[in-house]
Amino acid sequence: MKERLYELKQEALRRIDEAKDVKALNDVRVAYLGKKGPITEVLRGMGALPPGERPKIGALANEVREVIQQALEAKQAKLEQEEVERKLAAEAIDVTLPGRPVRLGNPHPLTRVIEEIEDLFIGMGYTVAEGPEVETDYYNFEALNLPKGHPARDMQDSFYITEEILLRTHTSPMQARTMEKHRGRGPVKIICPGKVYRRDTDDATHSHQFTQIEGLVVDRNIRMSDLKGTLREFARKLFGEGRDIRFRPSFFPFTEPSVEVDVSCFRCEGHGCSVCKGTGWIEILGAGMVHPNVLEMAGFDPKTYTGFAFGMGPERIAMLKYGIDDIRHFYQNDLRFLRQFLRV
């Protein structure tokens, strides 16, 4: 009988092992552990044994039953697991297929540059002033120390509407307008971005419409060294730490002294390359100390107040920053161009 139980155990374990699915496993369960199964049968036949043997065989039969039961459960779990895995495998997708696109747009590159510069100066305590694009001759020229007949104001270069009204040729009129609002009392600390217009034929480097950013600080004790420090700070924030600036003397009717400001080349670190035309420096700003006539006309006493002003062209900065080669791109609105300015 003992042998018979061992035999049954081996047989059942083999069949469990062979079972391919839950149903086959159930068959095994019914076949061996069912009420009419062979183990039950063995137990029934125990009456023929000597009483001393019975408990032993009984215990053995239970043990066999137990072993089979456990094997069944283990196999059951395994089969269920496989079932789940099969099902999930069947649900697999190609993760390399394209995702559902989210529509994205982005700012114009000039807006990116202007907002970056606005933020940078806001961080230094400036506010943003905006003014009319159609200006009076007075604010565009006269208040900026460019009286009628001054050689630096050629009628041919400006879009006049009438003798007294024109499209502003620079954002500088905001200097006078802002100062007038302050009624002779500082401090004034503004930057003025905006569109300006010149009578130029559009080509790769000229545009009859373009943008400018003007900056103005007027207060007691403003020094030219403050202009240098401010613009160096600006250059470093816009073009990277380690940038340096240099002043070259120049002439603008509304500032004196006047300078042109170069930034050390951000491409070659000043060693010379195609961006800086081998000089290591890139011209990006015009600046200077506000001319006393300008202060005076706007109601500030030049003996008490001094100031500095600077102006720059977002087009030029964007062209340098992004390597754009033709100014007309900014106004054609070709999506193949605009789409390139998505990344922050």
Partner 1 sequence: MLVSYRWLNEYVDLTGVTAKELANRITKSGIEVERVEALDRGMNGVVIGHVLECEQHPNADKLRKCLVDLGEGEPVQIICGAPNVAKGQKVAVAKVGAVLPGNFKIKRAKLRGEESNGMICSLQELGVEAKVVPKEYADGIFVFPSDAPIGADALEWLGLYDEVLELSLTPNRADCLSMIGVAYEVAAILGREVKLPEAAVSENSEHVRDYISVRVEAPGDNPLYAGRIVKNVQIGPSPLWMQARLMAAGIRPHNNVVDITNYILLEYGQPLHAFDYDRLGSKEIVVRRARTGETIVTLDDVERKLSEEHLVITNGREPVALAGVMGGANSEVRGDTKTVFIEAAYFTSPVIRQAVKDHGLRSEASTRFEKGIDPARTKEALERAAALMAKYAGGEVVGGIVEANAWREEPVVVTVSLERINSVLGTAMTKEEVAAILSNLQFPFTEDNGTFTVHVPSRRRDIAIEEDIIEEVARLYGYDHLPATLPVAEAKPGHLTPYQAKRRRVRRYLEGAGLYQAITYSLTSPDKVARFALETTEPIRLALPMSEERSVLRQSLIPHLLEAASYNRARQVENVALYEIGSVYLSKGENVQPAEKERLAGVITGLWHTHLWQGEKKAADFYVAKGILDGLFSLLGVDHRIAYRPAKRADLHPGRTADIWLDGTVIGFVGQLHPATQKEWDLKETYVFELALAELLNAESEAIRYEPIPRFPSVVRDIALVVDENVEAGALKQAIAEAGKPLVKDVSLFDVYQGDRLPDGKKSIAFSLRYYDPERTLTDEEVAAVHERVLAAVEKQFGAVLRG
Least distance in Å: CB of 283 to Zn ion? 12
In whole angstroms, the minimum distance from the beta carbon of 258 to Zn ion comes to: 25
Which residue, 11 or 283, is less far from partner 1 as judged by CB? 283
Helices 54-90 and 22-33 sit at what angle, rounded to 10 degrees?
A: 170
**Smaller CB distance to Zn ion: residue 257 or 270?**
270
Residue pointed to by tokens 């100066």: 121
CB 302 to partner 1: min, Å: 9
Instruction: Decide: is 24 part of the binding site for Zn ion (CB under 5 A).
Output: no
Q: Which stretch binds partner 1 (CB under 8 A): 3-11, 80-88, 146-154, 316-324?
A: 146-154
* CB 266, min distance to Zn ion, A: 8
Other CB atoms within a 10 A radius of the CB of residue 85 amount to 10
What residues from 269 to 298 belong to the interface with partner 1 (CB under 8 A)? 289, 291-292
Binding status of residue 96 toward partner 1 by CB under 8 A:
no
Picking from 24, 117, 123, 116, the residue whose alpha carbon sits closest to that of residue 79 is 24
Picked from Zn ion, partner 1, none, the partner binding residue 325 (CB below 5 to 8 A depending on kind) is none
d(CA 97, CA 95): 5
Residue 47: name its binding partner from Zn ion, partner 1, none (Cβ under 5 to 8 Å by kind): none
Between 39 and 295, whose beta carbon lies closer to partner 1?
295
Size of the site for Zn ion (CB under 5 A): 6
Q: From the list 14, 23, 185, 223, which residue makes contact with partner 1 (rule: CB under 8 A)? A: 223
The nearest distance, CB 281 to Zn ion, in angstroms, is 8
Query: How far apart, in whole angstroms, are the C-alpha atoms of residue 258 and residue 235?
Result: 18
- Rg of the Cα trace of the chain? 44
Cis peptide leading into residue 193 (ω within 30°): no
The C-alpha atoms of residue 206 and residue 34 are separated, in whole angstroms, by: 97
Contact 99, 41 (CB under 8 A): no
User: In the range 165-184, which residues lie near partner 1 by CB under 8 A?
Assistant: 165, 167
Is residue 233 part of an annotated ligand binding site? Answer: no
Kindly state the smallest distance separating residue 111's Cβ from partner 1, in Å. 6
- How far is residue 185's CA from residue 300's CA, in Å, rounded to a whole number? 7
How far, in Å, CA of 242 to CA of 230, rounded?
Answer: 15
Buried b (16+ CB within 10 A) or exposed e, 147-178: eeeeeebeeeebeeeeeeebbbbbbbbbbbbb
Does the footprint of Zn ion cover residue 25 (CB under 5 A)? no
Residue closer to Zn ion, measured from CB, 220 or 277: 277
Structure tokens belonging to residue 55: 């408990």
Q: Is residue 190 classed as helix, strand or coil in its secondary structure?
A: strand
Residue 187 binding partner 1, by CB under 8 A: yes
Q: How far apart are CA 39 and CA 146, in angstroms?
A: 117
From the CB of 264, what's the least distance to Zn ion, in Å? 8
Single residue of 36, 333, 343, 344 touching partner 1 by CB under 8 A: 333
Site residues for Zn ion, window 245-304 (CB under 5 A)? Answer: 265, 267-268, 273, 275-276
**Residue 160, contacted partner among partner 1, Zn ion, none, CB below 5-8 A by kind:** partner 1
Binding site for Zn ion (CB under 5 A): 265, 267-268, 273, 275-276
